Amino acid sequence: MMPLSILDLVRVTQATDARGALLNARDVAVHAETWGYSRIWIAEHHNMAGVASAATAVVIGFIADGTQRIRVGAGGIMLPNHAPYVVAEQFGTLERLFPGRIDLGLGRAPGTDQLTLRALRRSPEASDLFPQDVLELQAFLAPAGPDQRIVAVPAAGTEVPLWILGSSGFGASLAAELGLPFAFASHFAPDYLLPALDLYRSRFKPSEQLAKPYAMVGVNIVAADSDAEARRLATTQQMSFANLVVGKRGLSLPPIDDIETYWSGGQKAQAQRMLARSIVGAPETVRAGIAALVAETGADELIVVSDVYEHAARLRSLALIAAAAGLGNPRP
């Protein structure tokens, strides 16, 4: 059975404040653990009213503390925003608290706008140092040498598994060169999915962490009892992407009956391009969509974004997805 995981956006909605979004994220993890999901990841975003995961390491600790087995991690930490030493300290601490359950996915994008990037005290050119920063972070997580003067305490020796995240050939090439698992963001940037996977697999060099390529594919999936209801629930994400196209950053919106009344032609074209690989429908539709995606990509694992407005409906969507994928014994 292929592993299935969750990328939680920790959405703040018109009906739920940031505290509610964080509690909902932990509740999703509690249910996901019983349904057989392998991991739940949280992404770093800044200056976005509709996303409550800016303090990503703190959120990961909160979720891990509410669960027992499921892996919890970052999908990802935007490394150019941080000193690798501090990231090592944070995730090494998480690994000490929750041994064997922490993942550290690393991204090169800032996860915010240029104005907020300056508020983070990071230079826009910091992304140019991403490969070196990954190696530095990896060294701080490795066992300390006898004469090592700068040690990341308590991170040294935890060897938290690193992942490279990407939406282009750059991340694929770096993951291959370093021998790290690769997660492709086809849930918002599907155009380069297949070339990136080919590049990663063809150039992969084995490492101490990983002997052979391991590719995770991000996918938007919304499941409901009928195709029609799933399409209605999916309008929440469609509106978010339509707003993103024109630079609007607001709270998550409740679903509507007709998305055509919401977006312009230009918004529709760009949003549909970003959402091109979405799977939306009843369980049989979802089952077929998952099978087709895995057959096309050869993915070793899928990580699911199920951006549904109401918490109960989102839980049901994730349970139906788990059942469609053949995980454990989910009870929708």
How many domains does the chain contain in total?
2
323 found inside a domain: yes
**Nearest 5 degrees, angle CA 236-CA 240-CA 163?**
105
Cα distance between residue 177 and residue 213, in whole Å: 11
CA dihedral sign, ordered 222, 312, 315, 40: positive
Same domain, 28 and 139: yes
Q: What pLDDT score was predicted for residue 305?
A: 98
- The residue assigned the tokens 């300390």 is 144
Same domain, 155 and 227: no
Q: Which of 155, 156, 200, 157 is nearest to 179 (CA)?
A: 200
Q: Output the DSSP codes for 71-134.
A: EEEEEEEEGGGS-HHHHHHHHHHHHHHSTT-EEEEEESS-SS-HHHHHHTT--GGGGGGHHHHH
Same domain, 154 and 273: no
184 found inside a domain: no
Cα distance between residue 63 and residue 86, in whole Å: 21
217-272 tens-digit pLDDT: 999 999 999 999 999 999 999 999 999 999 898 999 999 999 999 999 999 999 99
Same domain, 235 and 329: yes
151-183 tens-digit pLDDT: 999 999 999 999 999 999 999 999 999 999 999
Same domain, 22 and 154: yes
The contacts of residue 147 (CB under 8 Å, 6+ apart) are none
Cα distance between residue 136 and residue 85, in whole Å: 8
Position 331 pLDDT exceeds 80 = no
**CATH code of residue 103:** 3.20.20.30
Could you list the residue range(s) of the whole structural domain that residue 238 is in?
220-332
Lookup: tokens for 6: 């969750």
Boundary of a domain, candidates 160, 186, 202:
160
113-157 tens-digit pLDDT: 778 878 887 777 778 899 999 999 999 999 999 999 999 999 999
Q: What are phi and psi of 304, to 5 degrees?
A: -100, 130
B/e letters for 46-78, b = 16+ CB within 10 Å, e = fewer, are bebebbbbbebbebbbbbbeebeebbbbbbbbb
21-68 tens-digit pLDDT: 999 999 999 999 999 999 999 999 999 999 999 999 999 999 999 999
- The residue assigned the tokens 């199920």 is 306
Boundary of a domain, candidates 160, 186, 209:
160
Same domain, 143 and 225: no
Boundary of a domain, candidates 138, 160, 182:
160
190 found inside a domain: no
Averaged pLDDT of the chain: 95
Same domain, 150 and 281: no
Q: Select the more confidently predicted residue: 222 or 111.
A: 222
